[in-house]
Structure 1
Amino acid sequence: MSRRSGGLIGDWAEAQRRMQQTQQIQHREAERRQRAYEREAARGQREQQAAYRQHREAEARRRTERIEAEVSALQGLLAAGCRAPAFRTAALVRPEQLEPFAPGNLAHPLPMPRLEQFQQQSSGWALGPNRRAQAEREAHARYTQAWQAAHAAEMQRQQQLAAYRQQYDQWAAQQLAGIREHNNGLAELARALRAGDADAAVEYFSAALYASTAWPEALPRQLAAAYDPGARELVLDWQLPGFQVVPEAKSVRYMPSTDQDKETARPATQRRALYRDLLAQCLLLVARELYAADEFGALESVVVNGFVDDHDPVTGQEAQIVLASVAAARSAFAGLRLEQVSAVDCLVEGLRGQLSARPDQLTAVRPGRRPDEVGGGVVSHGGHTSGGEDEPDLFGMDPIAFENLVAELFRAMGMEAVTTQRSGDGGVDIEANDPSPITGGRIVVQVKRYRNTVPPTAVRDLYGTVQDKGANKGVLVTTSSFGPTSYTFSNGKPLELVPGEKLVELLHQYGLRGRLGGGPGAAVPQRPAPDPEPPADHNVLGMTWSGRVALDVCALVCAGNRVLSEDHFVFFNNPRTPDGSVRARAHAAPDKAALEVSFDALPREADRLVLVAAVDPEADPHADLAGFTDARIRLLDAAGAEAGQLEVSDGRAGETALVLGSFRRRSNGDWDFVIGGKGYRGGLEDLLREYGVEVA
């Protein structure tokens, strides 16, 4: 019994010992794995920290490289500008080449039916003589009917082809006449330049500077110019870039200890030297561009006064401060190799010009001859308004003063508004904040002191700025106007366009002053008078459809597949053509949209009126034309009596714009309706491009 009992205890003790050994082994293995995990985590963290540091250091190097590239571009402005092609009137000559006549399917004759297509293909024994004769008569009758229909269709095709050819010939003649008139105008300009005409010289050389490819977009191109025919001298005031165009930082370095980028400041003396060199390059480049463009021998000398718009450090008033000036005779300028010169030495020593010793502190120099001292016509893009005028001319207002005026308007409207710095503003002239709790938010504002229509690219750039800045809205304010393509692009986007007449109206509404052109005491533009009543012989095109999709119905007055002009595109922001022959109008049930058309008053060169429909992105940005069904156009006379209905194609899923159809002028002057049906997935913008309207 004792041996047996001892054996049980021994077995239990051995089992306990083995279990302890196993637990110790497992514990040591767990500790080993934990240490390995911690080593791996530490290594991963070190690698992550190293990768993060490398990323930040690389980003700092890229910022340094961008700064160096900016400085290099400023230092190489003159050399790069000298490689730009000279302005020539030949580049403005329009070739007498037109789009060839392309009638499309109208050029192909319609196939005529053949008798054998209608005869029964059966064996002679299958039918008796009487039945076979009857079948032949029936086949011949069907053939005759089909042939007559095909013949009528072919005759209609030939008539349409002849009418289209006549329309094309008329269009081609008009296009050629316009091209020749333009080219004759260039020839007349050349004759006037050779004769020393002052107006022609100012117009031509101003255009040469504005069209030059030698100037980076970031540099200003504002000028005032006059021409002295007796001395054959062109005198200019040319706007120079401000001191801020030279980067303050010299380099950027990442500091791991603070996890921040540290900028090394550019020494003040170095920055001033770079700025002085840039100003000298600008004046030399202006003179070079003028002489290079002088293919008519109109210039014997050029006077350039380089100025900046800023606050006079003496008076504190806004002023044009002349920082550099030079009078460069052709004989002295012709011997210069501008690609190799030191710009400062060339300007000051070689041409005996003047250059501010401290342009960064707005230390002015004595200007040379000024445009208003020449007499005669002066073309000006910039300058100050006269304080004696009751209404300051917005066109002639100082750029900074104009921005301040627009900012003051926003403040008068109950918003917070400040102007930005002249450079580095990211395309923003004014930053405003609307405190309204629902519709308000951050607003970025651009101002364009233009005389011509603002190009659609400016609207597109503003939209990019709104997205980049994370703003709630973008506003583009101009002294001129916008074209239909700009309104089309802005539709459905957080953009607002304020043309010149609306700007003047708002200024007066909020107690501020401003006018568009004219002299002292000139009448301020008023709200346009209401459109006169449409002609008595007009028609109303009432548009109706099933479904709840919200649509904009528009019209294009075209010659062929090209709209006559942007003003001949009638839509929500352009409610009538210039001659009033096509107008938008308020609709009445059962119509959902309506247009007024006086077909007899349409331009002679127009051969078709195209009707289109597009989804309204403001009403439903995700809608398409899948629900556009049972659509028709009701044709009403001037008294409102229905003269007929025209069916149009249904919409399709995924498409957001549709050509409903077009009225086409026949050779006898009548108008026929041709159903459309072509859809577009890119909305109204894609459709308009096909009709020659470039949308931003």
Structure 2
Amino acid sequence: MSRRSAGFVGAWAELQRQHQRQVEAEARRRREEAREARAHQRLAAQSHREYRQAEARRRTEELEAQVAALRGLLATGCRAPAFRASSLTRAEEIPPFDPGQLGWAVRMPDPGQYQAQGGWTAGRRAQAEAEARARFERDRHAAQAAEAQRQQRLAALRREYEQRAEAERAEVRRHNAGITEVTEGVRRGDPDSVVAYCSAALYSSAVWPEGFPRQVTGAYDPAGRQLVLDWELPGYGVVPEVKSVRYVPAQDEDREAARPVTQCRALYREVVAQSMLLVLHQLFTADEFGTLDSVALNGFVDAHDPATGRQAHICLGTVMAQRAVFAGLRLEQVDPVSCLTDALRGQLSARPEQLTPVRPSRRPQDVSGRAVTRGGDEEPDLYGMDPIAFESLVADLFRAMGMQAVTTQRSNDGGVDVDALDPTPVRGGKIVVQVKRYRNTVPPTAVRDLYGTVQDVGANKGVLVTTSGFGPGSRTFARGKPLELISGGELVDLLHRHGLRGRLGDAGPAAPARPAPASDPASSSASASASSGSSSGSSSAEDYNVLGMTWAGDVVLDVCALVCQGNRVVGEEYFVFFNNPRTPDGSVRAMPAVAPDRAAIRVAFDALPPTADRLVLVAAVDPEVNPEADLSGFTDACIRLLDAGAAELGRLEVADGRARETALVLGSFRRRSSGDWDFVMGGKGYTGGLEQLVGDYGIEVE
């Protein structure tokens, strides 16, 4: 072979070796990718398996913790502090007045900062000095006007604070006086006071697991110094049927191991005995006045009677415990069933899971007919509910809606009645809840205070729950903020939708009170005063708002109001304009405007006719003053919502006018189904003036 051919073969062999190396490298890369893919799949499978296994362990731990809580119910309750009436009292802790930015006086201009600019000649220097003085005087007058306005707003804010603080102090005094009255009644042995006090002791206890009922019917026998109670027990479903959860990787599913039936039955019977012993313990330890010598207790469940199929109270346990005997027990170490049946000689159903009843000893109805039921199937009146029970009911509502919720302590709660946590991702978070058991409209100051609390504690949302309603000032302030306002009607609806009970007075969910039409303002005010004088949180006798209208431009306008049902005015006499300055009942009146307003309407929303669901505000060019004008100069307009003390509650946006239009619908206040009012911005214009506009609302102009 020649050297040339040998060199060619060597080059060809080298190319082959390079190609082989590339093939081998590509094969190694594919093998590595396949290995990584298999490793990723194994890791993913392992992660999924580990997650499912961890989830199964978590569920098992929850079941074990639930069972442990049931078995340790009595021991946990014995470690809890005894109830005392002093825990219900509230401190008159009103936060100090905080003027905010209004506390800083407007800075007056410094004459030294207003020097003449330029001027090479005497005449120019004199002109420059005059211009400097003019600038100084202009800025000084503006600063003085701003300072005067600041002082007015500061004075109004201080008056508002003092009124609110006094109302809060009065509410605290009324609450504490009620606690004192009940306490004194317990000292005297008054039956109603004793039952109320003992019910509070049981309701205030935080040791009962979630889902345990708290219905009690009680009566007190002063002659025998005996309290007789029917107390609702939890049903058999309180014992979890599942014992543990195990993840099976082969089938990729969870398998639940059932708890043995004998164990479920024994545990439920033990829970019944513990519940009755715990009720006795809480009652005797709460009796700081020595009122109870004995307690006759009947434990029942509210279920379908197996014998009749009807809903009934089935007694599963009964005991009559003497204080002297009960005081000698060491409840932390007793066997609950033996203690109840042997030491206290009570009776306990042999098969409570099958609702096998026992005969109760003494019933509350046997005590002179003075039985009082609390927390039963009857719809409780939210107005008459104890404030603490009402806060607990609101907390129960939030828990029923899938949130975590607890009531706060009676003092140092920062204005928060319920702390809630929404676990929902993204939109959830910390929620602060304030509860107002009012009969009259909640003032906007309460909504402002809630917003301050939300900012102070860094909450995601604030919720104000009331038995009454909210005015347009509150709704306007809350718009666009992390606030939610729940009126009385909405609250009752939420309670019913989530399996809870509540009503507003004897008539069920009530609309806001509306005084009967009066022939003069005095009678209307008297009616409003009479309707608001008996409730905490009530407004003053002059319960109205002022709608102040401001706008830019020189156009002169007539601002009018129509009281409507839908898109039709209630009656021509309910069209308030320059020739009819007030409605027959005085609920809507035109009034002189006070700067910066250029027109003003006074409205008592709660006094509007019951059939009215809208208050429409309109503006029209005054043809006598501006016969050739249109609304093109009507810009930068807004409605200032003021309270009866002229304090600004909020500003409502209004659309600008347009060329050739001479009348404009500014907006309308619309009654919600709950009785509250919302503002809806208008904007519809008319070229035919006020006559054409009111024609759309059913008023014929001759």
Coarse TM-score class (shorter-chain normalised): 0.5 to 0.7
Mapped pair 1:635 → 2:620? no
1:274 aligned partner: 267
> Using the alignment, how far apart are the partners of 1:62 and 1:642 within structure 2?
66
2:242 to 249, 262, 266: 249
1:318 aligned partner: 311
Q: CA deviation at 1:68?
A: 1.0
Structure 1 residues 122 and 492, CA gap change in structure 2 (3 angstroms)? closer
Cα contact 2:156–2:647 (8 A) shared by 1 = no
Structure 1 residues 251 and 144, CA gap change in structure 2 (3 angstroms)? closer
Structure 1 residues 307 and 28, CA gap change in structure 2 (3 angstroms)? same
2:196 aligned partner: 203
**Matched ranges for 1:147-186 at <5 A:** 147=140, 150-151=143-144, 154=147, 157-158=150-151, 161-162=154-155, 164-186=157-179
Aligned to 2:199, the other structure's residue is in SS state helix
Q: CA deviation at 1:79?
A: 1.4
1:663 aligned partner: 642
Structure 1 residues 28 and 142, CA gap change in structure 2 (3 angstroms)? closer
Aligned to 1:225, the other structure's residue is in SS state strand
2:397 aligned partner: 458
**Matched ranges for 1:5-16 at <5 A:** none
The Cα offsets for residues 447-466 of structure 1, whole Å up to 9 and x where unpaired, read as xxx99996387268537799
2:294 to 301, 304, 310: 301
Q: CA deviation at 1:157?
A: 4.7
1:89 aligned partner: 85
What amino acid does structure 2 have at the position aligned with 1:120? A
2:356 to 359, 363, 373: 363
Deviates more, 1:526-535 or 1:455-464: 526-535
Cα contact 1:456–1:483 (8 A) shared by 2 = no
Cα contact 1:634–1:642 (8 A) shared by 2 = no
Cα contact 2:300–2:317 (8 A) shared by 1 = yes
Aligned to 2:401, the other structure's residue is in SS state helix
Structure 1 residues 155 and 60, CA gap change in structure 2 (3 angstroms)? closer
2:451 aligned partner: none
> Using the alignment, how far apart are the partners of 2:97 and 2:536 within structure 1?
20
> Using the alignment, how far apart are the partners of 1:379 and 1:661 within structure 2?
51
The Cα offsets for residues 267-291 of structure 1, whole Å up to 9 and x where unpaired, read as 2221111111111111111111112
2:73 aligned partner: 77
Structure 1 residues 453 and 302, CA gap change in structure 2 (3 angstroms)? closer
> Using the alignment, how far apart are the partners of 2:145 and 2:18 within structure 1?
104
What amino acid does structure 1 have at the position aligned with 2:642? F
Mapped pair 1:339 → 2:337? no
The Cα offsets for residues 589-644 of structure 1, whole Å up to 9 and x where unpaired, read as 9xxxx99999x999xxxxxxxxxxxxxxxxxxxxxxxxxxxxx9963478989699
Cα contact 1:453–1:482 (8 A) shared by 2 = no
Cα contact 1:112–1:150 (8 A) shared by 2 = yes
Cα contact 1:82–1:214 (8 A) shared by 2 = no
2:100 aligned partner: 104
The Cα offsets for residues 104-137 of structure 1, whole Å up to 9 and x where unpaired, read as 34444444445444452679xx443x77667666
1:237 aligned partner: 230
**Matched ranges for 1:392-403 at <5 A:** none
1:429 aligned partner: none
The Cα offsets for residues 270-325 of structure 1, whole Å up to 9 and x where unpaired, read as 11111111111111111111122222222111122111122222222221111112
The Cα offsets for residues 408-455 of structure 1, whole Å up to 9 and x where unpaired, read as xxxxxxxxxxxxxxxxxxxxxxxxxxxxxxxxxxxxxxxxxx999963
> Using the alignment, how far apart are the partners of 1:20 and 1:310 within structure 2?
89
> Using the alignment, how far apart are the partners of 1:517 and 1:323 within structure 2?
34
1:378 to 361, 371, 382: 371
What amino acid does structure 2 have at the position aligned with 1:246? V
Structure 1 residues 502 and 304, CA gap change in structure 2 (3 angstroms)? same
> Using the alignment, how far apart are the partners of 1:372 and 1:648 within structure 2?
73
Cα contact 1:515–1:525 (8 A) shared by 2 = no
Q: CA deviation at 1:578?
A: 11
> Using the alignment, how far apart are the partners of 1:370 and 1:314 within structure 2?
22
What amino acid does structure 2 have at the position aligned with 1:63? R
Cα contact 1:581–1:601 (8 A) shared by 2 = no
Deviates more, 1:149-158 or 1:260-269: 149-158
1:446 aligned partner: none
> Using the alignment, how far apart are the partners of 1:454 and 1:158 within structure 2?
43
2:57 aligned partner: 61
What amino acid does structure 2 have at the position aligned with 1:97? E
Cα contact 2:468–2:487 (8 A) shared by 1 = no
- TM-score, normalization by structure 1: 0.58
What amino acid does structure 1 have at the position aligned with 2:544? S
1:349 to 314, 328, 342: 342
What amino acid does structure 2 have at the position aligned with 1:64? T
Cα contact 1:454–1:482 (8 A) shared by 2 = no
Structure 1 residues 294 and 258, CA gap change in structure 2 (3 angstroms)? same
> Using the alignment, how far apart are the partners of 2:36 and 2:138 within structure 1?
91
> Using the alignment, how far apart are the partners of 2:647 and 2:510 within structure 1?
41
Aligned to 1:455, the other structure's residue is in SS state helix
Structure 1 residues 192 and 13, CA gap change in structure 2 (3 angstroms)? closer
Cα contact 1:223–1:381 (8 A) shared by 2 = yes
> Using the alignment, how far apart are the partners of 2:46 and 2:326 within structure 1?
57
> Using the alignment, how far apart are the partners of 1:33 and 1:134 within structure 2?
89
The Cα offsets for residues 365-399 of structure 1, whole Å up to 9 and x where unpaired, read as 22121111112432213667xxxxxxxx6569xxx
Structure 1 residues 578 and 453, CA gap change in structure 2 (3 angstroms)? farther
> Using the alignment, how far apart are the partners of 2:66 and 2:292 within structure 1?
34
> Using the alignment, how far apart are the partners of 1:103 and 1:28 within structure 2?
81
Q: CA deviation at 1:348?
A: 1.6
Mapped pair 1:263 → 2:256? yes
1:283 aligned partner: 276
> Using the alignment, how far apart are the partners of 1:296 and 1:218 within structure 2?
31
Cα contact 2:218–2:373 (8 A) shared by 1 = yes
Aligned to 1:363, the other structure's residue is in SS state coil
> Using the alignment, how far apart are the partners of 1:76 and 1:345 within structure 2?
16
What amino acid does structure 1 have at the position aligned with 2:81? P
Deviates more, 1:70-79 or 1:310-319: 310-319
**Matched ranges for 1:584-595 at <5 A:** 586=564
Structure 1: runs of 5+ lacking an equivalent: 385-392, 397-449, 469-479, 507-513, 539-563, 569-576, 603-631, 652-658, 679-696
Aligned to 2:333, the other structure's residue is in SS state coil
Q: CA deviation at 1:70?
A: 1.0
The Cα offsets for residues 330-374 of structure 1, whole Å up to 9 and x where unpaired, read as 111112222222222221222112111211111112212111111
Structure 1 residues 456 and 211, CA gap change in structure 2 (3 angstroms)? closer
**Matched ranges for 1:37-56 at <5 A:** 48-56=44-52
